[in-house]
Structure 1
Amino acid sequence: MKIFSFVEGANPRKGGLGLVGVPWIAKSVAERGHQVVLNIAGYPNPGTEKWVQPDVRTALECKMGAGKYGIVTYPCIIQRWAFSPAMLRAYLPYIRDVDFIILHSTYSFPVLVGYLLARRFHKPYGLWPHGIFAPIQRQISGRKKKIYNGLIARAIMDNASVLFYSAKGEREEADSLNFKAPSVIVPHGLNFDDFVSLPPRGTFRSRYMAGHSGPLVLFLSRINQKKGLDILARAFALVLERLPNARLAIVGSSDPPQFEDRAMSWIKESGISDFVVMPGLLVGEDKMQAFADADVFVLPSQAENFGFAVFEAMASRIPVVISDTLDYAKEVDSHQAGISVPRNPQAFANAIVRILTDKDLHRELGQNGFSLARTYSWDKTGERVERTIECILRGEPLPPDLIMQEG
């Protein structure tokens, strides 16, 4: 199959990461013997630059596993909306031979381009919402989204051949919107080989914490409204009352950049400024060093449709403390791979202290998390996407095991 995907790139004003799973979804499908081109308006996701090609023709010939895969990027005239007219012009010579189109998220110009091409040339397409229909996400720029929904977004969703959700909870959050398109659940994966052997312990602490040897609590994610940093700041103040030698590392970039001021105000108001480090966005080996030095990973986020950092922490054998509102919280609990708690400071503080003061529990949660993370592979993601697309192209019902109690 020949598959074109469309997505907004890594925007420095939105944390600088982009939709981190998208390049890996595309790659996982290509490796199964298909030609896949990922079209990005803006910058590529950090760590994926090696797959960027100069044009569509070259991308279609780059070998990847049993197939072909390349990323093509286009400059944005308006970065905020990933507005890149060059993207539309570049694909007109190739679109007639495409079998399937995949759109990622909704509120961006690349998605509009992919939708218009699909409709103009009568191509089936699927869409990954990537959590945009969570209640808190709907509130962000809610008025503008409502207008855009009426103009075009609703049609994009309803005319899709399939909606790809990464978790059952993500689909349930969208149920009230009554989209006409059928849906499947395809979890994201993890590059597990990256976590088999972590860097030696101590590098992150030496660089950012003057070699501090006490307990280290790690938050690694975008710094924005839904992540619960106000809860974390108050929770860590309670942790310090019982474990004064503990430290907190808040790793990530602000989305938007000015949100860091609010996060800093919460830290100051909680009286923990002297016990917190904020090194900014870390990727690649630098991120791995943070995992290697952490004793507990924490994420008090309101919503995560997958939560890559949670699974990366578990793959690093770090016990996790997460909100019980996250889509995979029940699975983490059932596998005893971490502790999920209500979104309040006392609950998070109690769970953090419990793990840090019980070596047997710490070891058990870390090992169970490692085992759970291993079950999520990009190979499985690619196989499930492939089966879904093949059913659509053959005019067959979607795979029953991926529909999972739809309706």
Structure 2
Amino acid sequence: MKILHIIPSISADMGGPSQVALNLVKALRDLGEDAEILTTNFGMGEIKTGDRLDYIFDESLNLSVPVWFLPYDPPNLKEFIFSKAATAWMWQNLANYDILDHHYLFSYLPTCAAAIARFKKIPYTVRTMGQLTPWALNQGKAKKQLYATLFERKNLQKAAAVHCTALGEAEDVRSFGIDTPTVTLPLGVNIPDEIPNARQRLRQQYNLPENVPVILFLSRLHYKKRPDLLLRSLADLQRENEPFFGIFAGTGEPEYIEELQQLSQALKLTKKVVFPGLITGEEKECLLQGADIFALPSYSENFGIAVAEALVVGLPVVITKGIQISPDIDAAGGGIVIEDTQSSLTSALLNLLRQPEERNAIGTKGKAFARHTYSWSAIAQKLATEYQKLCH
């Protein structure tokens, strides 16, 4: 099959969806499928556009996939990313593919691709990426209601299938009034090489004593992810005289990062937390393997790639019910699922910090669960089978 994945941008600044598209296409190609990506050069610096490139997303992962980069037209909204060049390219080339796979809602490239695909009678799937949760729909509510009325409901209703990563996401599709068939498959995660001295390296890097536990936030620094709530809970831990060190690794809007840094100062946490920015490659793996607890108190996540990355290396996770894979993690005993409150987060962190044996047991269960469930190759095989059904 010839498959085209369409996503507005694969910039690291776009967070987990970029990793999903790249890893999924790589896994499909490993199975022998002819899969490619169409995107824009938004957030990609001076990258050459208009040609298909074997784009190296992360040399440490040896991840190389064919990507068509088309120039976007500034000024632009981060979520929308209009591209006149991509429009022309799609009119000329979409008929060369057997099936299209669209990432994102409320964005120009997948919206335009859906309209052209219907005109040319090309089947397409849609990955909603958690954008139909009640919380997500309430962000910019008026604009999304208008966009849904004009485009998005029809795009979803006319799709061959909607790819959901959890049962909760499939329920959100139905609640949105869409009766298109859904395919529920989790996303995958790469299993990294073990770094035997990760704990020691991490503590040397931040000049920490060996016995100080590290609490890791590794995600986009966005108010949806609630790093501010985690900061307030860390202040609670400090008042309890509980030893810890917090690392908030990720990129985000400069104004919001400044707000978080000011909050850490107000909470007297400046010596207990750091904001190292975007961490990738081996340094990221060292963070995951050297930390003691992973925390993501997000309002809403359809999957949470960072959560799966933590699980797969045996790092116990503390997550909210808004992360839609939380029921599976809870059932596997691989993490603590909390209410969306500061007191609930603080209590969970205290329990893990004060019970290292329990912490290790949870990490072991989470690791076994993630390595069995979140295999890219297995997921790609199932998705390729679904593509075949939809094409026929």
TM-score by length of 2: 0.88
Equivalent residues in 2 for 1:363-378, closer than 5 Å: 363-375=360-372, 376-378=374-376
SS in 2 for 1:8: coil
Local SS of the residue matching 1:339: strand
1:41, distance to aligned residue in structure 2 (A): 1.3
Question: Using the alignment, how far apart are the partners of 1:104 and 1:172 within structure 2?
Answer: 18
Match of 2:249 among 227, 248, 251: 251
Amino acid at match of 1:122: K
Aligned to 2:61: none
Contact 1:198 1:288 in 2 (8 A): no
CA contact (8 A) 2:3 2:99 kept: yes
Alignment of structure 1 residues 73-88 onto 2, 5 Å: 73-78=69-74, 79-80=76-77, 81-88=80-87
C-alpha distance in structure 1 between counterparts of 2:44 and 2:169, whole Å: 23
Closer/same/farther in 2, CA of residues 334 and 136 from structure 1, 3 Å limit? same
Q: Which residue of 2 aligns with 1:163?
A: 162
Shift of 1:353: 1.9
Specify every segment of 5 or more residues in structure 2 that has no aligned partner in the other structure, as ranges: 55-63
Aligned to 2:2: 2
Do 2:17 and 2:129's aligned partners in 1 also have CA atoms closer than 8 Å?
Answer: no
Deviations 1:226-270 (CA, angstroms, capped at 9, x unpaired): 21223212211121233443111111112x332223323433343
* The one of 231, 234, 244 aligned to 2:232: 234
> How far has the Cα of 1:16 moved from its partner?
6.2
Q: CA deviation at 1:45?
A: 8.4
Aligned pair 1:293/2:290, yes or no? yes
Helix, strand or coil at the partner of 1:309: helix
Aligned AA for 2:341? N
Deviation string 1:346-397 (CA, Å, 9 cap, x unpaired) is 2222221222222321221121111111011111221221121211222xxx
2:319 matches 1:322? yes
* SS of match in other structure, 1:392: helix
Once the two structures are superposed, residues 93-117 of structure 1 have per-residue CA deviations (whole angstroms, 9 ceiling, x without a partner) of 4333321111111222211231132
Which amino acid in structure 2 is aligned with residue 350 of structure 1?
S
SS in 2 for 1:107: coil
Conserved 8 A contact 2:125-2:163: yes
2: CA distance between counterparts of 1:75 and 1:205? 42
Contact 1:53 1:71 in 2 (8 A): no
> Deviations along 1:326-352, whole A, 9 cap, x unmatched?
212222222221211112222222221
After TM superposition, the structure 1 = structure 2 runs for residues 43-82 of structure 1, keeping only pairs within 5 Å, are 43=42, 55-56=51-52, 70-78=66-74, 79-80=76-77, 81-82=80-81
**How many positions carry a matched residue from both structures?**
377
Q: Distance in 2 between matches of 1:55 and 1:82?
A: 19
Q: What residue identity is the alignment partner of 2:162? A: L
Unaligned residue ranges in structure 1 (runs of 5+): 60-67, 395-407
Find the counterpart in structure 2 of residue 65 from structure 1.
Answer: none
Amino acid at match of 1:338: G
Measure, in 2, the Cα distance between the counterparts of 1:74 and 1:199.
Answer: 42
The reply on whether 1:120 has 2:114 as its aligned counterpart is: no
Check if 1:104 corresponds to 2:103. yes
AA paired with 2:364? Answer: Q
Q: 1:151 to 1:321 in 2, by over 3 A?
A: same
Instruction: State the partner residue of 2:59.
Output: none
Residue 9 of structure 2 aligns with an amino acid whose one-letter code is G
Aligned to 2:303, what secondary structure does the other structure show? coil
Partner of 1:405: none
Residue 121 of structure 1: CA displacement?
1.1
- Output the TM-score relative to the length of structure 1: 0.85
Distance 1:17 1:341, change over 3 A: closer
DSSP 3-state at the match of 2:198: coil
Deviation, 1:219, is 0.7
